[in-house]
Structure 1
Amino acid sequence: MATITRYPGVRHLRSTPTTHVLQLRRGRVRRSGVGLAFWFRPLTAALSEVPVDDRELPLVAHARTADLQDVTAQVTVSYRFEDPDLVAQRLDFSVDPASGRWTGNPLDQVGRLLGELAAGHVMDALAGATLREAVTSGAGPLGRRVTAALVADERVAATGLRVLGARVGSVRADADLERALQTPARETAQAEADRSTYERRALAVERERAIAENELSNRIELASREQQLVAQEGTNARARADEAAAAGLIEARGRAERRHLQATSDAEATRLQGEADGAAERARMAALAEVPQGVLLAAALRELATHLPEIGQVTVTPDLLTGALAALTTRRGE
């Protein structure tokens, strides 16, 4: 809004760059422009202030589709006052010279005008579509259609307005109808989720089966290797036993051969010793055959005496003495 400073008998107005000020005096345009600053007399001046910045008007439009269903569209209309002089003539943008405020509500008038026009174009656009088409076709096509209709509307241009665009936020139906329309999509999404779940489960089962098969293959491979190991260990054990048996046989043969050689050697030594002893005995006996009997008896007694135990005392009986004397006498007579 413009700033008005009061002085005795006069006023000073200073506007902003986004405000178009129109001054009339005696029914004629005295000043008209943006960002003006001037002095004026409040008793003779008529002021109008029109904003020239871009503005937006949110509204809710109700419409009925081709299948007689009520829908609600949230629309935002962007506009500006293209011709401020024409706007000041068609709408009441007059300003109180004392306070600098609008004497009426011109923006409400603009809002009602654009709101009714936009709602009418929304109704026209949705009247030929079914409920499903209106809800699912998207807000973009509807917004472009409403924008084109507002731009081409003669009442907007005749008021000095310019519509920059219309955006449709959403097109909503009754809650029960929306739930009914959402049911197929939800069922489809649920079916897709179930399919994904089943696929994940199937994949998990397949992976578990692959893991089980891999574990079984590993166990079979380990069992096969263990069997090979047992067989190899048995073969090695048999080979060690055969080697040990062969070594034992060789050692036994060696011991037997050594014993045989020892026995043969001992027998040969015994035989030789016997022959030597026999030869010596024969020689001794041959030598003794030429020795007198008395000498032999004396030698025998001497030999016997060397092998007799120690004799403490000897008892000579008459019979023994008689026999000895008789034998001695006999030897002397011979």
Structure 2
Amino acid sequence: MADITRRFGFRHLRAAPTAHIRHLRSGTLAHEGTGLAFWFRPLTAAISEVPADDRELAMICHARTADFQDLTVQATVTYRITDPVVAATRVDFGIDPDTGAWRAEPLDQLGTLLTESAQQHALELIAGLTLSQALAAGVTPVREKIGAGLTTDPRLTETGLAVIAVRVTALRPEAELERALRTPARELVQQEADRATYERRAVAVERERAIAENELASKIELARREEDLVAQQGANARRQAEQNAAADRVRADSEAARRTRIATAEAEAARILADAQADSERVLGEARAASEEAWLLAHQQAGPELLHALALSKLAEHLPKIDSITLSPDVLTGLLTRLGRAGAAEGEGR
């Protein structure tokens, strides 16, 4: 919108760089161009402001497919007024000389024109397709059809419009139908997810089985090694026992031999001792016998007096110690009597 300033019954207009201004004074062209600034009298001026920049127009249209299904098309059209003079003569772009605002709604008129034209071309395309075909084809055919139709539309050219670009953002059926159409795809995706889950579980089971087999193989190998260890320990213990038995046998044999030698030596020593004792006793006996024989021989040659004296001497040796003795006449008489008898007997014996 242009900026208009009042001064002493005159008006000053300053336009934007993207606005094309057309000023007629009493039906005669006084100013025309973009970004103008000038003074004018409001009573004799007719001013039009045509935008020269690119404009975006969003639109939504409903089309019916060949199988009688409703399809919503969301699109955006970018356009530009390439001939402001023609557009100003075909559409009312006149502004109020006091406020600078448009007297009518020119952009709404252009939007209606573009929307109806684009909707017409979209309907022509979608009417020949089923819903599945339209959704499968996507937005590209619709975009190409609308772009080609708007570019070649003579009404837009006569109005001074040029379509820069057409973008179709979505093709949507009704909500219930859309959910129904999504169900097979969802089921397929769910089946793929289930298959992936089953495969993952199968891989996990296979890995668990491999791990269990590895653990079992490890346990078997460990048990075998333990068996080998026990067998080796048994062999070592048996070998140690055999070695200990052999050593004990050697020690026993040595001890037996030593004891045999000791016993033999002791027996030999005992025999020698016994022989020595026998010889000694024999010699002693012989000496005693000789002594007795000599003693008897001496007694045979001795007289009775000597024998009595010897007898008394032997008797005295065997008598206890006597400090004093008292001889009565009776004892002395009896003793002498016995001595006399003994001497008589000895004499008779000779």
TM-score, normalised to structure 2's length?
Answer: 0.82
| Bigger-Rg structure (1/2) | 2
Mean alpha-carbon deviation: is it higher for 146-155 or for 32-41?
146-155
Paired AA for residue 281 in structure 1: E
Q: What whole-Å deviation, never above 9, does each CA across 1:203-236 have from its counterpart, x for those lacking one?
A: 1211221122122112212221221122122212
- The equivalent of 1:98 in structure 2 is 98
- The equivalent of 1:173 in structure 2 is 173
Secondary structure class of the residue paired with 2:291: coil
Task: Verify: 1:201 aligned to 2:209, yes or no.
Answer: no
Secondary structure class of the residue paired with 1:290: helix
Segments of 5+ residues of structure 1 without an aligned counterpart are 297-310
- The equivalent of 2:182 in structure 1 is 182
Paired AA for residue 34 in structure 2: V
Mean alpha-carbon deviation: is it higher for 103-112 or for 173-182?
173-182
Task: Verify: 1:243 aligned to 2:243, yes or no.
Answer: yes
1:330 and 1:14 mapped to 2: Cα distance? Answer: 208
1:269 and 1:164 mapped to 2: Cα distance? Answer: 146
Partners of 1:140 and 1:167 within 8 A in 2: no
- Pair 1:232–1:326, CA change in 2 (3 A): farther
Q: What whole-Å deviation, never above 9, does each CA across 1:9-48 have from its counterpart, x for those lacking one?
A: 2110001111111111222222111111111111111000
Percentage of pairs with the same residue? 51
Q: How many residues align?
A: 313
Task: Verify: 1:139 aligned to 2:130, yes or no.
Answer: no
- The equivalent of 1:61 in structure 2 is 61
Mean alpha-carbon deviation: is it higher for 260-269 or for 28-37?
28-37
1:36-115 pair list within 5 angstroms: 36-115=36-115
Secondary structure class of the residue paired with 1:78: strand
- The equivalent of 1:230 in structure 2 is 230
- The equivalent of 1:282 in structure 2 is 282
1:204 and 1:314 mapped to 2: Cα distance? Answer: 126
1:185 and 1:257 mapped to 2: Cα distance? Answer: 105
Q: How well do the aligned residues superpose, as a CA RMSD in angstroms?
A: 2.7
Mean alpha-carbon deviation: is it higher for 102-111 or for 252-261?
252-261
Q: What whole-Å deviation, never above 9, does each CA across 1:165-202 have from its counterpart, x for those lacking one?
A: 11111111122221221121111111111111111111
Paired AA for residue 39 in structure 2: W
- The equivalent of 2:121 in structure 1 is 121
Segments of 5+ residues of structure 2 without an aligned counterpart are 297-317, 323-333
Paired AA for residue 50 in structure 1: V
> Once the 2 structures are TM-superposed, how far is the Cα of residue 276 of structure 1 from its aligned partner?
2.1
Secondary structure class of the residue paired with 2:260: helix
- Pair 1:326–1:31, CA change in 2 (3 A): farther
Secondary structure class of the residue paired with 1:183: helix
